[in-house]
Amino acid sequence: MREKIVLAYSGGLDTSVCIKWLQEKYNADVITLTLDLGQREDFQDITDRSKATGAIKHYQLDVKEEYVTNYVLPSIQANGMYEGKYPLATALGRPLIAAKLVEIAEKEGATAVAHGCTGKGNDQVRIDVTVRALDPALKVIAPVREWNMSRDQELIYAKKQGIKVKPSNSIFSIDQNLWGRSIESGPLEDPNVEPPASAFEWVTQPKEAPDTPGYVELGFVEGVPRSVDGQEMGDLQLIKHLNQFAGKHGVGIIDHVEDRLVGIKSREVYEAPAAVTIIEVLTRHELAFKSGVEREWSWLVYSGLWMEPLRFALDSFIRTTQRRVSGNVRLKLYKGGLRVVGRTSKNSLYKVALSTYQKGSTFDQSSAVGFIELWGLQSRIAAKMASEVMREKNVEHTKGKQGQTLKQKSK
């Protein structure tokens, strides 16, 4: 019986070539799998392309709801931003792809799964590690990493194999899902070149954005956005709405030179209007410990360690901190700028009666004297000790100089 391999299939040049390459090298039957993560593709065309290229079966799964519920919402609660800039859109999608590869492989009795990731990027790590954690018995094959072909060589191979190559109208390499759009290659490989307007699809260039500011009020329940301008929305509807609204006002472009997991510095350009808008709302200067947890959580997800027990433990802590994060936040969006201009919450620690400088304040200002006395206690003690040490040094220095003068006189 021929071996079966389940291939994560995008319909592009790399994964189409993968089908034939896997058939040749492993003498295997190839089953393809495409996930709908909100990437706005023609999925029927991808299905037809898979079968025409030689796959014995094709799966196309709509996992948008699962992606948002199990991956995006936890990231929102964790303020998931790698290096403070990248909202992890691609990184969050890869463990879901890996999980579905394992699911279909077990259903079909396959002995291996495959993907089209290169040996330079992070995605190979994210998929390989997750697959092996879920089913250690499965082999993971990365044809692009193994064959090391250039694009020109791939095109020659595709022509030789009779693979119809889908024409590309873009000079960029694009990966997208509903949480963000990643743009690479072409002129963007020079970090000193400003991304051209043609690179962007979701975000209006700021100079072309409306001349009137846009306002939006987000309602949160336990750290998760549930309403827009008082209207409750489902998760998918809310993200789509914010992508459109914030993008129209020029909000959501990220231009970042980031540290890839494999040690390469990489210039990355992203569009993520909804993610930037929502996470801007949740960035709170709470506890230093919470900030550390957010950085660690983002690092684990970026690094492909979705199945790491530490992430599960951090999730528990994060969920606990979010129980009281409910209320409304009002945002002002104007020509690429984003600013919080109002916030209300029944759980807020902000109390007007304590903060006001007007008549009716309930704060006893005389209590500040004792607080300052205790707050600066260690600083005052340290300063006194330093002063005493300096005084002793000055005395010793003076005595030393006097001794030298007496010796010179005696001569």
Considering 29, 123, 128, 175, which one is annotated as catalytic? 123
**What residues contact residue 325 under an 8 Å CB cut-off, 6+ apart?**
220, 222, 223, 282, 345, 347
What's the CA gap between 302 and 122, in Å, rounded? 8
Q: Are 145 and 152 in contact (CB under 8 A)?
A: no
Strands laid side by side in the 214-221 sheet = 231-232, 224-228, 214-221, 327-334, 337-344
**Is 410 part of the annotated catalytic residue set?**
no
Helices first, then strands: H and E counts in the chain: 15, 14
**Is 42 part of the annotated catalytic residue set?**
no
Q: How many residues does the chain have?
A: 411
Q: Are 39 and 80 in contact (CB under 8 A)?
A: no
Minimal CA–CA distance to 1: which of 27, 32, 31? 27
**Is 14 part of the annotated catalytic residue set?**
yes
Strand ranges inside 12-94, DSSP E:
28-36, 57-62
Considering 2, 48, 168, 173, which one is annotated as catalytic? 173
Element (H, E) at 141: strand 139-141
Considering 29, 49, 75, 94, which one is annotated as catalytic? 94
**Is 2 part of the annotated catalytic residue set?**
no
Residue 78: φ, ψ to 5°:
-90, 5
Minimal CA–CA distance to 216: which of 192, 178, 242, 190? 242
Q: Are 13 and 164 in contact (CB under 8 A)?
A: no
Strand ranges inside 157-293, DSSP E:
173-177, 180-184, 214-221, 224-228, 231-232, 253-259, 265-271
| Cross-strand partners of 175 | 182
Give the residue numbers marked as catalytic: 14, 94, 123, 173
